[in-house]
Structure 1
């Protein structure tokens, strides 16, 4: 009986639960709870400043309530919005690649090049000027700025000795010039200019760094090297391996040196010098090319005022003296032209690549005993009449037609250079201009006009009547060249052509050449503005697409976004001024300072007027801001950058050499801090700690050996000077290997420790 009563009571209770809890009442409670959550989510929540990281973030709670109050339709809408945001970001990234491609095609325009090799006109072969020299020695000293050779502070005493008459310039054996090297002033573009006579583009800056042998070859372009090779001559080259990359398979003997180990001042040049005596005694070569890198390395490492600079200049001058002595003494070198030049210069910081006067003003000398009987000697040393401009300034690409004329070669097809008029004297009879001089200039003009037709197909170089527009006072562009050419032709083919009219013919042909060079040089740097604008528009669309997904985040940080937008707009406006481009770092100095001040003010705002004892935190923030400002100022003065202030005093080059103990104290502190961090933040292993300590000691030892061999003056007045003599002459290879072995051991030990940790974690089920 009792059992049946309990069963009936249980049955009634289950029925009651179904009716009151899991029935309509439960649905009603769910609806009320959802409504309450929505009401709470819609109400504004008062935010107070929280100092404890353990307190609940109101914003996160609000987000949680909002998410709980969402219905299924709202969640689907959020998913769709997120999907479209991801698509917008994907499209924006694709458009960035498209924008860069379009912009690059307009910024690096294609230059039409005439294929093949130039040849002499067979119909006028009898009037071709005979060659003056049989072979050429072409000596390039990397970064040979004009004042390194011509100024009173020069170390080239044999080239321009002050008080003796037997220097090359004073005796008339050398014709000095300042070559104008147009930007970009890096090695590969400048070698292209000197061998092809063309104007390189900024794309060659990228190719200058590329290690590919085929990315920047001139094997299929017309150069004076190719012309010598076509006539059966042999070419030898020693020095910068850029020549080997530019002319693969051209040199019969070569020994290239890499240009990227800038700390090497001596061996990189000794590898060239050791070949000089042997090659000077050889009879088989037509061109002997040398490219010395040591002077450029000194500039990069220590600047143009380094104590190593004068030593290197004297070393290069001794090589010039050795070569010139061989030219005077050895019979097979009697008819040899010696060219000494720099591929570019350097700025006051020792760098190059830009367009400052120091970077664009290398020295250039043509040397031969034959010049002594033809040319009035120049005075030396001399003062620069402008920024590093000595004697007469010529374009660097003028070397190409000048060498072609003096060596009896056709001028390369794509050359934009002008035969240097000072060398026309080599065909003149006394003070009387020779018909051969006119032939040189006439061939140069025809070659350049032929190159112009590739860019301006409408130009008429065979006009028999006066071209339209020549009656105007100031024709410009190709019309100016065409008019000057027609006037020169009238003098060349005139009925009264004789020796009395040759000076007028020479002047007219030089006007044609200078006009054509001006037009073609400006065309070589002419950009496709349509593609540039199109690329910018596509980039703007990509920015807009990227901004839409980030709008929610951006709207919560209006001040930061405003500052960012103002910085971007200001920075973009600065790019329209070349001086601001060169001094770009100044803009970022002020922007970083302004942003730091803003963050400091923002951090103090919650504490303003507060009597809370926690106000001491604001004092700590103030102290940290002051420390940050001082550190920032020190970093600004650590190394001077840019163009205008590159030679100004700084900490690294002026303070530390005079306070060597402070320098070495900071160095030791840096190595000690590195060692402590490796030991403390490392796997618990004695092998690791031992390897870290030994590697740090080896690295510091390598630092000492490197300083002794590279900059021993930094140890002369320090407490470490007693060990300087014991480290002199020690090879760098052994300490370097020890350091790399130690680093390798640390890496291997770290990986082993990681594997052990992972295995232990897997054995314990991921529990610590």
Structure 2
């Protein structure tokens, strides 16, 4: 069955490939040439001499106020303005830099590219500037250097991923600014500061370090602004953020604080406005006298430009903006009429013709902009999506039959037929009708055989029907609701709390022995689980509310006491699981190092990892390798988890112990632990928003950005509790049927999620809610496959070592 799951993962990857294509909009960008009788020469005449663009990473809109940034706030009141900028999802750096420079809507797959690689951007307002002979300098986030490697006259990058650095990344930028102010041979200077974003990842937006960092940025802005205007050149000074910051810290989601940033302009007369981030490149291009980026779908802002441009030039830019968005498949019926009024204005200088022409141009821009945005995010490969969904449905059905040990043999259980169906479906996916027909026949056959064959299944189907088909199916169907996805943690809290309550009731009425003891223990576990849910507010609607994690961050003395108690619980659990004498010394030593590491001695992190790896190697050389893996993973969690979350692994062990004593059925035991692991995943603070991924965990014990180690540590941090729950199951039931049920639960959810995401691809929240859920569910399945391979590898290595050891003794 492992081969089936590998094929399932391939189907998942193909679905992602078809659902998140790396595509471009092919808008035919006209040059400054005459398609009417208009004189287009004024378009290339710049209104400003220089542009200074300061990007403060994670500068949310409410950060800019007189208390935090007094000088920046004053800039918008004197020869400037402050606008509210709407940022599209995903709110991570690479897509936002593309939006800021190209005016296009980056694909959601750029989230992955942001972590893996950065392709060179082919066209932007920076390309237009260099083409016109302007000189561009850059300092800051090295993502810019990867995207625009050959455009900068001078540059220096800093890594955006090393989030433990709050000051050096900004000092390196400012150090170069003083040199550029002295040289003054540049036309565009871009500065991307990272310190604020790094503080947000570690501590969140309400920490005491945030305001000093904002005030530091304000002083830097004051210095730059006063010096770049010293030589009489007309300089546009612009300050903005690439994205905002979630109330709980981090970014990547769609909350208001993540998707709204300021744009403060100084150097031109303008009025405050509300614009989209993709509008910024065409606004800069119009002021610099540049051609618009060829893939730009942004639109000009009347409030930002009307006081800086003459009426004639303003209409010309609006005409050019509409011309830039039009192509043979995307026309504006009002365009010709707006041109007529435009011509009337040039002949008669009639204010009425100017207003009518401008109104029609703006209407065309709005219509074309919305059409192109939809087109840019709806480039699906429907045939491949349908094929992958059908195959995942088939594989899910196969695992269901295998787990329930059906005596009714179905055709799809035969390996040759499975591989044939896979090949045929992918071959026919080019023809959507044939592919859809084949998928319909496959699904209909599987459903028919499930219904007809159920009477041949063994009695444990009652357990499966009761638990999987009632609760897990309800959970799967709930994925059709964006609110249920955003607040999925509530589903799992309810499921697991209900399970604990059911066990408690059972201990009162049905257990004859130790009922009072079990009842008190169960009640205690219910209370503990309820308290743990308050450690980290998660989800979307209530994530801004205070939680215990925030309380401990603000009360360091309580946090230290709580941390020591958590380590003692870790020690107790590890010692109960691993009882050998040499392990006692190893455990004491490791936890002492962990405590010293927590008390600001980061160099110990490498030593702790060395000890953990030694323990992991030792775990493959004994018969009790699962127990050793459990303790190893608990020690990894002490190193990577936030201090207030270190109590979660021992609490998971205690909850597992309680339910293990009262759930005798293998199926209920496994499913209970799956629910436990999922509930604890959300208790840790995760959600279906990319902003809940704790990037800071990847840099524990590191002094620089090393992608493989960072990725490994982030994954360990994210999935440590679900993996720990899986290991606790394998400790008792280490067989194929256990893995089959793990796979079955994951495949069911990912299949339903993929199907719903495709059906609701026109939904308002498809890219803000459903698309992140698709990525997260795909990630869950890939991690489970890695678990399977590592588990089998450890067993193989252990058996080889034990066999060789036995042979040597003989």
Normalised by the length of structure 1, the TM-score is: 0.68
Quote the residue 1:3 is aligned against. Answer: none
**What is the Cα deviation at residue 197 of structure 1?**
0.4
Find out whether 1:543 has 2:396 as its counterpart: yes
User: Judging changes above 3 Å, is the alpha-carbon distance between structure 1 residues 738 and 109 closer, same or farther for their aligned structure 2 residues?
Assistant: closer
**What is the Cα deviation at residue 408 of structure 1?**
1.1
- SS of residue in 2 equivalent to 1:171: coil
**What is the Cα deviation at residue 289 of structure 1?**
1.4
Quote the residue 2:93 is aligned against. Answer: 187
Quote the residue 2:258 is aligned against. Answer: 359
Distance 2:476 2:358 in 1: 49
Q: Which runs of 5+ in 2 are unaligned?
A: 407-457, 623-797
**What is the Cα deviation at residue 746 of structure 1?**
6.1
Quote the residue 1:517 is aligned against. Answer: 369
Distance 1:422 1:129 in 2: 21
Contact 2:140–2:158, Cα closer than 8 Å, also in 1: yes
Find out whether 1:702 has 2:597 as its counterpart: yes
Within the candidate set 631, 638, 650, 2:547 is matched to 650
- Listed one character per residue, the Cα deviations across residues 576-630 of structure 1 (whole Å, up to 9, x for unaligned) are 22222211111111111223333445566653xxxxxxx3333333233223212
Contact 1:240–1:291, Cα closer than 8 Å, also in 2: yes
Within the candidate set 527, 531, 541, 1:630 is matched to 527
**What is the Cα deviation at residue 195 of structure 1?**
0.9
User: Judging changes above 3 Å, is the alpha-carbon distance between structure 1 residues 752 and 357 closer, same or farther for their aligned structure 2 residues?
Assistant: closer
- Listed one character per residue, the Cα deviations across residues 405-449 of structure 1 (whole Å, up to 9, x for unaligned) are 111110011100112223433554xxxx43222211111111111
**Larger CA deviation: 619-628 vs 410-419:** 619-628
Distance 1:702 1:544 in 2: 48
Distance 2:401 2:585 in 1: 54
- Listed one character per residue, the Cα deviations across residues 69-90 of structure 1 (whole Å, up to 9, x for unaligned) are xxxxxxxxxxxxxxxxx6xx75
- SS of residue in 1 equivalent to 2:533: helix
Quote the residue 2:492 is aligned against. Answer: 588
> Which residues of 2 match residues 307-706 of structure 1 at below 5 A?
307-331=208-232, 334-368=233-267, 371=268, 374-375=269-270, 391-425=272-306, 428=309, 433-450=310-327, 453=328, 456=329, 459=330, 482-494=332-344, 497-500=347-350, 501-526=353-378, 528=380, 530-531=382-383, 532-552=385-405, 555-601=459-505, 607=511, 615-654=512-551, 657-658=554-555, 660-672=556-568, 674=570, 681=578, 693-705=588-600
Contact 1:92–1:545, Cα closer than 8 Å, also in 2: no
**What is the Cα deviation at residue 756 of structure 1?**
10
Distance 2:8 2:392 in 1: 7
Quote the residue 2:49 is aligned against. Answer: 134
**Larger Rg, first or second structure (1 or 2):** 1
- SS of residue in 1 equivalent to 2:187: strand
> Which residues of 2 match residues 233-312 of structure 1 at below 5 A?
233-312=134-213
Quote the residue 2:32 is aligned against. Answer: 120
Quote the residue 1:200 is aligned against. Answer: 106
Contact 2:504–2:523, Cα closer than 8 Å, also in 1: no
> Which residues of 2 match residues 41-52 of structure 1 at below 5 A?
none
> Which residues of 2 match residues 706-721 of structure 1 at below 5 A?
none
Quote the residue 2:765 is aligned against. Answer: none
Distance 2:590 2:397 in 1: 51
- SS of residue in 2 equivalent to 1:548: helix
Find out whether 1:227 has 2:128 as its counterpart: yes
Contact 1:91–1:542, Cα closer than 8 Å, also in 2: yes
Distance 1:760 1:525 in 2: 59
**What is the Cα deviation at residue 757 of structure 1?**
8.4
- SS of residue in 2 equivalent to 1:362: strand
Contact 1:217–1:248, Cα closer than 8 Å, also in 2: no
> Which residues of 2 match residues 710-749 of structure 1 at below 5 A?
734-740=603-609, 743=612
User: Judging changes above 3 Å, is the alpha-carbon distance between structure 1 residues 116 and 682 closer, same or farther for their aligned structure 2 residues?
Assistant: farther
**What is the Cα deviation at residue 316 of structure 1?**
0.9
**What is the Cα deviation at residue 347 of structure 1?**
2.7
Q: How many residue pairs get matched?
A: 576
**What is the Cα deviation at residue 345 of structure 1?**
1.4
Counting helix residues as a fraction of each chain, which structure ranks higher? 2
**What is the Cα deviation at residue 494 of structure 1?**
4.3
**What is the Cα deviation at residue 320 of structure 1?**
1.1
Distance 2:345 2:148 in 1: 47
- RMSD in angstroms over aligned alpha carbons? 3.3
Distance 1:351 1:539 in 2: 33
- SS of residue in 1 equivalent to 2:559: helix
Distance 1:546 1:665 in 2: 47
**What is the Cα deviation at residue 236 of structure 1?**
2.3
Contact 2:102–2:296, Cα closer than 8 Å, also in 1: yes
Quote the residue 1:477 is aligned against. Answer: none
Distance 1:355 1:633 in 2: 28
Within the candidate set 158, 165, 182, 2:71 is matched to 158
Quote the residue 1:217 is aligned against. Answer: 119
Contact 1:137–1:337, Cα closer than 8 Å, also in 2: yes
**What is the Cα deviation at residue 747 of structure 1?**
6.5
**What is the Cα deviation at residue 652 of structure 1?**
1.4
- SS of residue in 2 equivalent to 1:638: coil
Contact 2:28–2:325, Cα closer than 8 Å, also in 1: no
**What is the Cα deviation at residue 402 of structure 1?**
0.7
Distance 2:620 2:475 in 1: 44
Q: Which runs of 5+ in 1 are unaligned?
A: 1-85, 161-166, 379-390, 460-480, 608-614, 706-731
- SS of residue in 2 equivalent to 1:345: coil
Distance 1:496 1:250 in 2: 38
Distance 1:748 1:547 in 2: 35
- Listed one character per residue, the Cα deviations across residues 429-477 of structure 1 (whole Å, up to 9, x for unaligned) are xxxx432222111111111114xx4xx2xx5xxxxxxxxxxxxxxxxxx
- SS of residue in 2 equivalent to 1:176: strand
Contact 1:132–1:408, Cα closer than 8 Å, also in 2: yes
Contact 1:600–1:622, Cα closer than 8 Å, also in 2: yes
**Larger CA deviation: 401-410 vs 663-672:** 663-672
Distance 2:532 2:90 in 1: 29
Distance 2:314 2:28 in 1: 26
Normalised by the length of structure 2, the TM-score is: 0.65
User: Judging changes above 3 Å, is the alpha-carbon distance between structure 1 residues 540 and 560 closer, same or farther for their aligned structure 2 residues?
Assistant: closer
Contact 1:116–1:222, Cα closer than 8 Å, also in 2: no
Distance 2:606 2:7 in 1: 45
